[in-house]
Chain A
Amino acid sequence: MPPDHLPNDWRPSAELAMIQARADLFARLRAFFAAAGVLEVETPILSQAAVTDPALASLSVGGVGPARSLYLQTSPEFPMKRLLAAGSGPIYQICKVFRDDERGRLHHPEFSLLEWYRPGWDPWRLMDEVAELTRVALQRPTLPVERIAYRELFLQRLHLDPWSATVEDLRGAALAAGIADAASLDLDADAWLDLLLTHCLEAGLGRDGMTFLVDYPPSQAALARIRPGPIPVAERFELYLEGVELANGFQELTDAVEQRARFQADLAQRRRRGQSEPPLDERLLAALAAGMPECSGVALGLDRLLMMATGVDRIDGVLAFPVERA
């Protein structure tokens, strides 16, 4: 990244051809959904409630209208689910989302997200559509696709069962993998899994086409339904291409009681960690209570998709003006 004090930092960090490539990509996406009969919608970027997920930090703004503080969305998930509950049918949205404290080669605090929902579809059918959309987006019609279960990946590559491994087992795997400071890091089991996934496994995913990582540990369900069984799994999937996480999808949780319990568990964890405790989205909970259709939904990062389409390896290369020169 060039220093931001250079006198030419008024210039875009992306090539002008990239600005065109972005417009072309968005046009292909919109044509894809028009042909598929999915309705484009727009929901508020500013909200009175915010996401509770302890791994996501919302930005807030004050002094809007009646001088109350409002939150910038980290994803359009909650208002889109209210549309679904109101009977919208299949919908998609292309919008800006905001996440504080995220900045790096693949992260930018403001980014473009494509999110869509398919009432009546299971995640397997949605994954097929994600794969087809990705082929269209990248103009690679024969790009192959594979699926691997989260548990299988850890068993194959690290000889570790994420469902039963203890914190010390996980630390041992991190030590064996040569991760710096594995001996002294103080992490809970899910954070160890995240460490192993990001440091040892992600880079190998999506190397021969698209890889869907599926069936996450229930502790990492986020807003996915849990599929009961001898080994319960969260019906969640992530799409990887060339080692980069592109999309996250769920068989959506539709149970208002369970949703409220998860929100409250999130808030309890935030309290333990000394994080802020944002207001719950009571309107989402009311919509779920009124009845949201069973559906699958997915969010796909468009800046990263554009990186894949153009062969750029830093997110700054596809942004007109990154935050340092915004």
Chain B
Amino acid sequence: MAFYSTSEFKGGLKIMLDGDPYNIVENEFVKPGKGQAFNRVRVRNLKTGRTVEKTFKSGDTVEAADVHDTEMQYLYNDGEEWHFMDPESFEQMTADANAVGEAAKWIKDNDVCKVTLWNGAPLAVDPPNFVVLQIVETDPGLKGDTSGGGGKPATLETGAVVRVPLFVQSGESIKVDTRTGEYVSRVKDA
């Protein structure tokens, strides 16, 4: 089992706290010149996404979390779980709804996602930053209005709903920024 000392703490380090894997978001070292040093740490629970503050006595050790990111190809959803494949080893893995989270509304077959593995099992899935998806339903907009102001909701093939400009129509494909959930552009010949 690997351990980290507080002197190794830095943003991005993955540690175990109370049985859950956490990511260090921010680490502040505080020490009076002649006294006890502390690390004030903000950590994010990788299972729940919640961020909390922790106080460590400097010099304390904490168990390392076996967490790392890997690129995996999304294959299909069997109704309960999402199936992914390592594009190099062809090894397949399944992720549950908890792990896939918000990514579920953006990904479609063959998309390459960042999968965070904890003890070898998917813990979280990040969709590609940009995805191209087809609009399955949106109100017919005002013809000739190209200002893009205001916009209207459009339902995409994955079920996600994004605001699109009025000139964008059902059946068209659009590029979406998954980090903000915002429309980027129309995509032709998708």
Contact = CB atoms under 8 A, between A and B. Distances in A.
B30 interface: yes
Contact of A222 (B31, B34, B54, B59): B34
B40 interface: yes
Interface string B40-68: 10000000000011111111000000000
Contacts of B28: 104-105
B92 interface: no
A191 B36 contact: yes
Contacts of A125: none
Nearest to A179: B55
Interface in A61-100: none
Contact of A195 (B33, B34, B36): B36
Contacts of A53: 34
B144 interface: no
A194 B32 contact: yes
Contacts of B59: 101
Nearest to A193: B35
Contact of A194 (B35, B40, B53): B35
Contact of A191 (B7, B33, B53, B57): B57
Nearest to B33: A248
A180 B52 contact: yes
Interface residues of B, number: 21
Contacts of A193: 35
Nearest to B58: A101
B7 A195 contact: no
Contacts of B37: 55, 101-102
B24 to A, nearest CB: 14
B3 interface: no
B54 A180 contact: yes
A104 B35 contact: no
Given A179-B55, A180-B53, A195-B55, A101 B7 contact: yes
A295 to B, nearest CB: 19
Interface in A190-209: 190-191, 193-195, 197-199, 202
A107 interface: yes
A187 B57 contact: yes
A220 interface: yes
Contacts of A245: 32-33
A95 B33 CA distance: 17
A103 interface: yes
Nearest to B34: A222
A182 B55 contact: yes
Nearest to B56: A181
A182 B53 CA distance: 11
A107 to B, nearest CB: 6
A215 interface: no
A35 interface: no
A222 B53 CA distance: 31
Interface string A230-249: 00000000100000010010
B36 A104 contact: no
- Closest 3 pairs between A and B when the two form their complex, measured CB to CB: A104-B29, A194-B35, A191-B36
